[in-house]
Chains A and B, each alone.
Chain A
Amino acid sequence: MPADSPIEQRPNRDGRHASPIRLIRRPWAVAAVLVGVLIVCGAAAGLARASHTGRPAVNPTGAPSLVPIPAGKVAAVPPAQPETVPRPTGLVIPAIGVKTRLIKLGVTSAGTLQVPASTSVAGWFTGSPRPGEPGSAVIAGHIDSYIGPGIFFRLRDLRPGNLVYVQRGRGSLAVFKVTAVRTYLKSKFPTADIYGPVPNAQLRLITCGGTFDPATGHYLSNVIAFAVLQP
């Protein structure tokens, strides 16, 4: 820069040379930049949160291997004339880290399936056969609460062949093998496949899934795991 440059030689209002404080000669502009950066960062964070896939990096229910396979005498295939099967008390699904007690679910006054009041437990529908009896035992649990994962958050991750353990009274245990995991629009809920008669002992695990509709506060689909009693 030439030595006689008028800018370089021009003293500031207070008489001193400007070069060290040139950067802050327009503090309001600098402030504008900083505020802009903050807004952008905030918006980026908001966008990232708003568009996240709904799967926290941390496994909320613990690593699968941490869930011990329950012990107990495994029930044989039910005889043609079933003896009284004890009531289900607990559910363990090592593959997706589920370990919960089972509450009892009935039918609401509106005629719909009652769902657990807590999102951290699953419930057995008392109108369905007991797990291990001929017929489809129905167990429902929440995918999430208002703020985070529920007991069946990872139900959609179950794969055919995964084992499901239902603990029952008198220390007995029924072991089911997953045959399919499917997603159904709630408008096309497969009522007959869930509640209809079947000849052998089966299990239906139900939660929500698919798209969440903030207008109704409900998911548009159900995720259902189908399983059959292991011989």
Chain B
Amino acid sequence: MRKATFLSRLARVAAAGTIAAVGLTMSQLAVAAPSASASTGVGWIRLAHLSPNTPAVDVYLYSFGNSNAMIVLRHVSYGTVSPFEQVAAGDYTVAMRAAGAAASTKPVLSTAVDIHSGHAYTVAGVGPASGLRLQVIPDRLTTPPGKSLVRVIQASMDQDVVTVTAGSAALATNLKFASVTSYVAVNPGTWTVHVTGSSEKATASVSLTAGSLHTLVILDEHGKLAIDDLMDAEGSKVDPAGAPQTGFGGTAPRPGAALLPWAAAGLAGLFFAAGGLLLVTRRRRPALHAR
């Protein structure tokens, strides 16, 4: 009876050891598998109206081939930029209709947007009303370490060209209406942005943190030149090195090596007990002979 208990206990112990070992291997396998990026399968899109003499519009975002709009922005007027929407990567259609026009009517403008996984896009109605077009502007999502990236969209029709500086950094030089610069790396800080057009000037204070990306939109605002500071993306100001150490092991499964001494002790005890049991139950034949 006792022996059976020992055996079953030993069996259980052995089973526990095996399960632990298999579990350990499995978890290592799971970790070893290539880990997909966090933004796998999603992208971002924002919609903007940057045509000064085009009246307000309704902007529709359709998943390609689906006639039901995913997003409808109503009564979007000049200078309006939506927040980013996170969407599944894939093909989309952006359509513009006159504000209040039925969704079933033919759009004034439409364009296809291929949203790649992990990428962001600004889709803007640009140009004069007579030559309105929808432009897909890819947005960047990385910065050089310790820097901020800034670019300029020239959406002022009153000024043919603008020159834009932030501190001593030149962001745009003689930038034509309805065009966009590439990103320029700027040291973080609060900078005074100067915009000089053909007949107007404007200044604005812009705070740029490391790891952030901005788009400065130059607008006509009630006949005056204006600067709109858009946040394209923001990251941490510094990227801490390596991986955080957030555990002390108090709940960790012990590695296999720690099982060995216990198993050895168990076996020794088993021999001890078995030996003793044998001696207890053995007949005292040697004693008989001695007599």
Are A51 and B244 closer than 8 Å at their CB atoms? no
Are A134 and B231 closer than 8 Å at their CB atoms? yes
| CB proximity of A181 to chain B, nearest CB, Å | 11
B105 sits at the interface (CB 8 A): no
Task: State in angstroms the CA–CA spacing of A195 and B238 once bound together.
Answer: 8
Nearest to B45 among chain A residues (CB) is A199
| CB proximity of B246 to chain A, nearest CB, Å | 4
Given A36-B276, A40-B270, A81-B229, check contact A54 B83 (CB 8 Å).
no
Task: State in angstroms the CA–CA spacing of A25 and B280 once bound together.
Answer: 8
Task: State in angstroms the CA–CA spacing of A51 and B15 once bound together.
Answer: 10
Q: What 1/0 mask marks residues of chain B from 39 to 66 whose CB sits below 8 Å from any chain A CB? A: 1001010100000000000000000000
Subset of 29 A-B contacts with CB under 8 Å = A31-B276, A32-B273, A33-B273, A35-B269, A35-B273, A35-B276, A36-B274, A43-B13, A44-B13, A47-B259, A47-B262, A50-B258, A50-B262, A52-B16, A56-B251, A80-B83, A113-B244, A119-B248, A141-B246, A145-B248, A150-B246, A193-B38, A195-B236, A197-B234, A200-B85, A211-B24, A212-B253, A217-B248, A228-B86
Are B247 and A195 closer than 8 Å at their CB atoms? no
Taking CB atoms, residues of chain A closer than 8 Å to B37 are 190, 193
Q: What 1/0 mask marks residues of chain A from 21 to 57 whose CB sits below 8 Å from any chain B CB? A: 0010110011111111111111110111011111110
Given contact pairs A7-B284, A196-B236, A199-B232, a sample of 17 additional A-B residue pairs in the complex whose CB atoms are under 8 Å apart: A32-B276, A33-B2, A36-B274, A40-B273, A43-B263, A46-B261, A46-B262, A46-B265, A47-B16, A47-B259, A128-B235, A134-B234, A148-B250, A193-B37, A199-B120, A200-B84, A219-B249
A interface with B by C-beta (< 8 Å): 6-7, 10, 23, 25-26, 29-44, 46-48, 50-56, 77-82, 107-108, 110-113, 115, 119, 125, 127-129, 133-136, 138, 140-150, 152-153, 179-180, 182-200, 206-212, 214, 217-222, 224, 226, 228
Are A197 and B2 closer than 8 Å at their CB atoms? no
Size category, B interface: 35 or more
